[in-house]
Each structure stands twice: as C-alpha cells, then as structure tokens.
Structure 1
Amino acid sequence: MPLGVNLSFCVKRWATPALWARLVREEIGLSLVQLTFDLVDPAWPDALLDGVAREIRVEAARHGLTLHSAFVGLAHYSFNQLLHPDPRVRDVAEAWLARAYRFAGQAGIPRVGGPLGAIASRPDGQEADAIPQADYRDLIARMHRLAEAGAAAGLTELYVEPTPLRREWPWTVAQAARMAGDVAGAALPWRYCLDWGHGTCEPLYGAGAGMEPWFSGLGDRVGMVHIQQTDFRLDRHWDFTRPGRVDPGAAIALQRRHGLAAAPVFLEVFYPFEQDDASVLDGVRRSAALLREACA
C-alpha cells in the first residue's frame, strides 16, 4: 500500500523545498509527499509563487520524490471558507482555491483537497443536523466552478475531507454519498480523503464509532487516507509514539479488506510550535517506520 507523509510537521520549521525534500527522503525514508498550503500561501504574488513552484519541482526531482497532492492546511481551514455567512467571503475563498490549483499545476502536483467550509454557529449554541439547503446548493455550485478551474490548471482530481463537525459538510457517510452524486459530471472528479481522527470521533458519532462505515459506504470514491494516532474523543493528530486507539496494522488491514489497497495513506501529524525540532523529527521518523511495516 502506498505510504506518504503530509508536510504538516514542517510548518514553521522546515519551511522551504530544499529543507523538507531532503528530510522526507533521507531522514524519514519516504518518497510520497503531500504538500500543505501552510507552507505556501496561494495569496502570495504570482512572481513569488512561480519561483516556489519551480523550486518544488527541482527539489522533488533531485530527491526522487513523488508530489501526490496538496491540502489546504490549518491556516486556511481556520476560516469558514466556502460556507461563510457572508457571500463576499465565500467568493474570496473560491478565488483562493483557484489560485491554489494554479500553483499546484505549476509545481507538478496533480491533486488538491481539504475541508470545504463551515456555517456560522447559532447564538444559542445549538447545532442542527444539517446545513441550510440554500447553503448546500451554493456549495455544490461552487464545487462545479472549482472543478473547471482545476481542469484549466491541469489537475486530475479534487478532494473533499469530511470533518467531525455538524457545522461543516459533509460529516456523515450519507451526506458524502449525496454530495458525490451532486458533483458527478463536474469538469474534474471529486473524491474523498478520509481521516482516522475524523471518522472515529465518538462525541459526534457515538460509542463504537469507526472507519469501517466510511470505507464500506463510499467505496472507490475514497482516493486517499490520512492516518494519525488519536483517542476517538477529539481530532488529535498525534504521532505513533503516543498511546492511543489507532493500531497501524489493524488500520491498514481494514482498508485492504474494503478494496482500497491502492489508495495511499498519508501520515498527518501536528506538533506544538514550542516543541523542540529534534523530538518532532524523531516522532515522525518512528511513526513512518511503524507505518511502513504495516503497509508492507
């Protein structure tokens, strides 16, 4: 099973292609990479973005890396994006993603994905079981336009990452299946990235929550998986040096049983910015070793 790493652990640390490319290949021992837009902001000026795209292509080739995809990252995720209550902000978020696609195409990265957005919370703090239909219809229309932008940029696929939040969409298997039907026939295929810290969130899905309903319910619409160590309580994104409820061998076996052996698995872990660099690198290195054994 293909194994790669999301560059989330590099944020505010190994910030340039010359730094992270060597690190991934020589220290962590992987060759499949998922860029995070926490390292490159699509809002930067075009001249700067064009230069960074060239650097990524050069360093990836130099170190024998495959640039599989790019995900929006935590900085952009912190905004309400395509579901912000102000349509002007939604327009900006859509334009930001179109610029992200342009950059990815220039850098030789064929896929871009991430969560899509979040509606605003109610004043009373109560959360509904579904976002308003008007917001959903607007989101689908924007996804169709974004597929056209991605195709124009030379991409091959776009990805949605379901999250365990009622304010975001989709957060259930049924919602994800409905969305897949509503964007069928778009200029590019929309597929799903599932995350072990999202589908297992027991406060939302109840005791016994797990990934099996997602794998069985979405099937080949799943194109990749994010793996992390977590406690099934919150979306932890711990590495595998910490105790938790995700067993790498069992996780990979479950994915294989559902016919998804070709879908790459990406280690996606986050660290406090105050943590020392040596322990971060050690945690990623040891986690990658455990996952390599599981994926063999």
Structure 2
Amino acid sequence: MTEFKSISLGINLSFCVKRWVTPDLWAPIVQEQLGLDLVQFSFDLVDPAWPEDILRDCARDIRRAAGDHGINVHSAFIGLAHYTFNQLLHPDPRVRDVAEDWMKKAYRFAASAGIDRVGGPLGAVASRVDGFEPDSIPERDYDDLILRMRRLSEAAKEYGIVELYVEPTPMRREWPWTVEQAERMAANLADTPVPWKYCIDWGHATFQPLYGEGHGTMGEWYRRLAPHIGMIHLQQTDFQFDRHWDFTEKGAVIPEEAALQQRQFGLADRPVFIEVFYPFERDDASILQALGRTTTILKPAFA
C-alpha cells in the first residue's frame, strides 16, 4: 500500500519575468496571494554577470525579503534568457568556456543570496543544415560536456553549493533527452564533489512527438532514475508540446494522479515546483488570478 505522505509544493519564479522582478515584489505575492513558502529562483531576474555592486545588493534583498516573508529559496535555475544560448554544447569551444564561467558566477551569486542549489538544462549542439537530427550528440561533445560538469562541480563546492541539477529536455540536440542517456550521465558523474541530480519536468518527459504515445511517461523516468532525481517541475500540458500552462488550462496532467505517481515511486520527499510561463503582453491581474486558482487546485493533491 502506498504511504500517503505530504509533498512540498513550491513555485519557480518564471512567472515573474519582466513583471515582479525584485524580491519586494515577488515575495509578498508568493506568501500572501499564493499561500506558498517555497520558491525556486530564476536567473531571468538577476544575471550573475552583472556588476558586483548590483549583485551584492540583489543578494542582500533576496535574503531579506525571503526572511521577512518566511520563504525558503530552495534553488536557483538558469531561466529562459540563458537557456536560449547553446551554452555548454555550442559549436565554438570559446562560447562553451563563457557558458562555463557564467555558471560559476551563478553559483557564486546563489551562495551570496543564501541559495545552495543550482541547476537547469545544459545546452544544445547546433542544428545541421539538412535538418536531420541524430539520436544522440557526438561523443566528443558528450565527453567535453562531462569534463565541464566535473569542473563545475568542483567550483560549486568552493562556493558552498550542496547540489546541482540537470533538467532533461525533449530535444535530440540537447543532453540528456532519454532515460538511457540520463542513466549514463549519472554513472559518469557519480563521484563528483557536489552531486548532480535530475529535475524531471512533466512537460518534457511526456512529450509524445518525440517519445511516442505511452513511451515517455513519468513512470519510466521515476522508476529508473529515482535515486538521481532531486526535484520535479510541474506544469499543465497536453503531451504534444512543452506548454508550461497553469492549471486553469485544460490539459492532460491530473494533479491527484501526478502526486500519487510521485508517492508510488518513493519520491514524496522531493519538492515539486510549479513552472509556468505567460505571454509578455498578458495583463498582470489575470496572471495573479490564474496563479491563485492554480495553487488552490494543486495544494490538496500534494498535501
């Protein structure tokens, strides 16, 4: 019989991009309007490459606002802005060097803001001119990626980061995008100073155009990667695209079943973060209303 255990529910600050961009804006929304006390910071709100005096003040403000509102900033993820670059898999190794240095700066900022976990997708190889997408990235790119991840783990340890995350994406040009690839990567990184864990996203792992109907379920990811999973990203989606809808939208994810599945695979102790994005032109009031309704829908399932 599956043990009924409460699952920590939080929210990624992706909904704040270009809107509630400072802690004095997002902290009261999270606490008072959404009734949550767990967040995942987004580097769409602070670029770790900004000047040192700005970063110092941003880190101070995050610590203060989180403390004032009783919020635990569990982790920091790279966000959309940096994700749009090819990062650690760019064809030019000099750009990979820049991306690696950016991540080190992200670790440094996170630590100064009182955040001791950092993660996100790793990067993407360039597309071919004929449009063909192989089933895996070249081995030389994979080997280089693992080497850089090892160096990043060493840097993270120096800054006091306790856990790093890889977020698998449903694209053949990124890594990893299959359970098998994720298992291989976990084995290749098993002895790093700071452990690399996975963030499994409901809109990524269930993407039917890539995995096929019934072959990209969360169950397979949970069953085979359970020891390596550090958190879950939750969104409403239709399994046809990576939608990142809130739960006022009609989709294929049923909250009660999502929570039950997480418990069944022994993952009830891993936090869940709502990760939703909105068109920049959408009005602020309707977003707050939709987020409030979303948390009202989700809380009973994960409590």
Q: TM-score range by the shorter chain?
A: over 0.9
Question: Amino acid of the residue matched to residue 15 of structure 1?
Answer: V
Give, in angstroms, the shift of residue 283 of structure 1.
Answer: 1.0
Question: Aligned equivalents of 1:38 and 1:93: distance in 2?
Answer: 15
The alignment of Structure 1 onto Structure 2 pairs a total of residues equal to 296
Specify the alignment match of 1:267 in structure 2: 274
Give the C-alpha shift of residue 284 in structure 1.
1.0
- Structure 1 residue aligned with 2:94: 88
- Gapped runs of 5+ residues in structure 2? 1-6
Q: CA deviation at 1:187?
A: 1.4
Moved more, 88-97 or 208-217: 208-217
Matched, 1:113 2:119: yes
In structure 2, how many angstroms separate the alpha carbons of the residues matched to 1:18 and 1:165? 36
Query: Match of 1:215, as an amino acid?
Result: Y
1:35 paired to 2:53: no
Return the offset for 1:223. 0.7
Q: Deviations over 1:55-110 (max 9, x none)?
A: 00000000000010000000000000000000000000000000000000000001
Q: Show the 5 A alignment for 1:89-168.
A: 89-168=95-174
Q: Please, which runs of 5 or more residues in structure 1 have no aligned partner?
A: none
Question: Which residue type is aligned with residue 66 of structure 1?
Answer: N
* One-letter amino acid of the counterpart of residue 52, structure 2: D
Q: Which residue of structure 1 aligns with residue 3 of structure 2? A: none
> For residue 188 of structure 2, what is the amino acid of its counterpart?
D
The Cα shift of 1:289 comes to: 1.4
Whichever residue aligns with residue 25 of structure 2, its letter is: L
Q: Deviations over 1:96-148 (max 9, x none)?
A: 00000000000000100000000001110000011000000000000000001
Q: 1:205 aligns with which of 201, 211, 231?
A: 211
Q: Distance in 1 between matches of 2:33 and 2:158?
A: 36
Pairs within 5 Å for 1:175-214 = 175-208=181-214, 209-214=216-221
The residue aligned with 1:288 is 295
Partner residue, 2:247 = 240
1:59-70 equivalences under 5 Å are: 59-70=65-76
Distance in 1 between the 2:157 and 2:51 partners?
A: 22
CA deviations on 1:35-56 (whole Å, 9 max, x unpaired) are 0000000110111101100100
Cα distance in structure 1, aligned partners of 2:159 and 2:294: 34
* 1:256 aligned partner, one-letter code: R
Residue identity over aligned pairs, in percent, reads: 62
Measure, in 1, the Cα distance between the counterparts of 2:122 and 2:109.
19
CA drift at 1:290: 1.3
Measured after TM superposition, the shift of residue 7 of structure 1 is: 0.4
Shift of 1:23: 0.8
TM-score (norm 2): 0.97
- Equivalents in 2 of 1:264, 1:136: separation in Å? 29
Letter in 2 for 1:196: W
Moved over 6 A (4+): none
> What is the one-letter code of the residue matched to 1:274?
E
1:258 matched to 2:265: yes
How far does the alpha carbon of each residue in 1:199-257 deviate from its partner, in whole angstroms, 9 at most, with x for none?
A: 00000000123111000010121110000000100000000000000001100100100
Distance 1:46 1:95 in 2: 15
Tell me, what secondary structure is at the counterpart of 2:244?
A: coil
Task: Provide the C-alpha distance between the structure 2 equivalents of 1:261 and 1:83, rounded to a whole number of angstroms.
Answer: 33
Instruction: Look up the equivalent residue of 1:217 and give its one-letter code.
Output: R
Say whether 1:54 aligns with 2:57.
no
SS at 2:203 equivalent: coil
Backbone CA RMSD of aligned residues: 0.6
For residue 284 of structure 2, the aligned residue among 266, 277, 282 is 277
- Following the alignment from structure 2 to structure 1, what is the Cα–Cα distance between the partners of residues 166 and 294? 25
CA distance in 2 between counterparts of 1:283 and 1:210 reads 27
Residue 245 of structure 1 aligns to which amino acid in structure 2? Answer: A
